Amino acid sequence: GRLLPASPAPGRHIEFIGNSLTCGYGTEGLSKDEPFKPQTENCNKAYACIIARYFGADYTLIAHSGRGAARNYGDKNTTSQNTMADRIANTFDEAAEPAWDFAASPYRPDLVVINLGSNDFSTLPHPSRDEFAAAYTRILQTLRGAYGDEMPILCVAPRVSEPAFTYIRDLCREYSADGVLYEQMKFCEFWSYERVLGVHILQEELGIPTVGIEKEYTLAGAGQLRTRIQAFVESLEIKHIQGGKL
């Protein structure tokens, strides 16, 4: 046999920073009640890889199940050691050294998506605003230091109630966020009320471009989801071209 030439690299690259939602927790499980097993975790069936495939993009996943920005799932304290704020610059998931050399890497993304906060606030005790803001700010500073101020960063609000929404809203305002993706599970009335209010506050009161989406429990609606996200990202690109005006 002979070696075949490598396929051409995609023209786009998206970097996703997240938790089990990005890792694909339970995507190959037979029931929603199954406990965590590495055998049923498949990132290829989770939102990040689906979105990357739709846009014809290569992708980088910096994610670990159970990790938060300031507090990991189930921690008895309001902050944790070894959160995603600590791991974001690792070359290897479980090792702090060697640190990833952003400058030397040929993989520079065209877009960064942050989907964190669910583990921080899913159980008590919650991190304080200052604790969460400090950790989230570290993540943003790491990304800005690596990719510069022109890199679009999309912050995804987690499917949790207050105070997470207010914390992320304040951070988006402070850092002049390019846009916010607000996601909820379909047919969940409780979260639907919060999504409508959250999108209104971010878009109308703060002037931050925001899109609210409903995610189904299966992949049946993946096509519609991709279309909505594509339109939203294109609107952000147009905003940059027009000098900040939508």
Mean pLDDT by 10 residues, the chain (246 residues): 88 94 92 88 92 90 96 97 95 92 90 93 92 94 93 79 76 80 65 67 79 69 78 82 62
Closest CA to 165 of 226, 117, 217, 93: 117
pLDDT tens column, 153-208? 888 877 656 787 788 778 877 877 788 877 766 665 545 556 676 787 778 877 88
- pTM score, two decimals? 0.77
Closest CA to 198 of 188, 213, 178: 213
User: Which tokens go with 56?
Assistant: 């014809």
Cβ contacts of residue 168 below 8 Å, gap of 6+? 117, 136, 155, 157, 158, 180
Return the residue matching tokens 């101020």. Answer: 149
- In this prediction, residue 246 carries a pLDDT of 46
User: Which tokens go with 122?
Assistant: 């899913």
Closest CA to 155 of 108, 194, 198, 187: 198
How big is the CA angle at 142 (ends 21 and 80), to the nearest 5 degrees?
A: 55
- In this prediction, residue 220 carries a pLDDT of 64
CA atoms within 13 A on the CB side of 37: 11
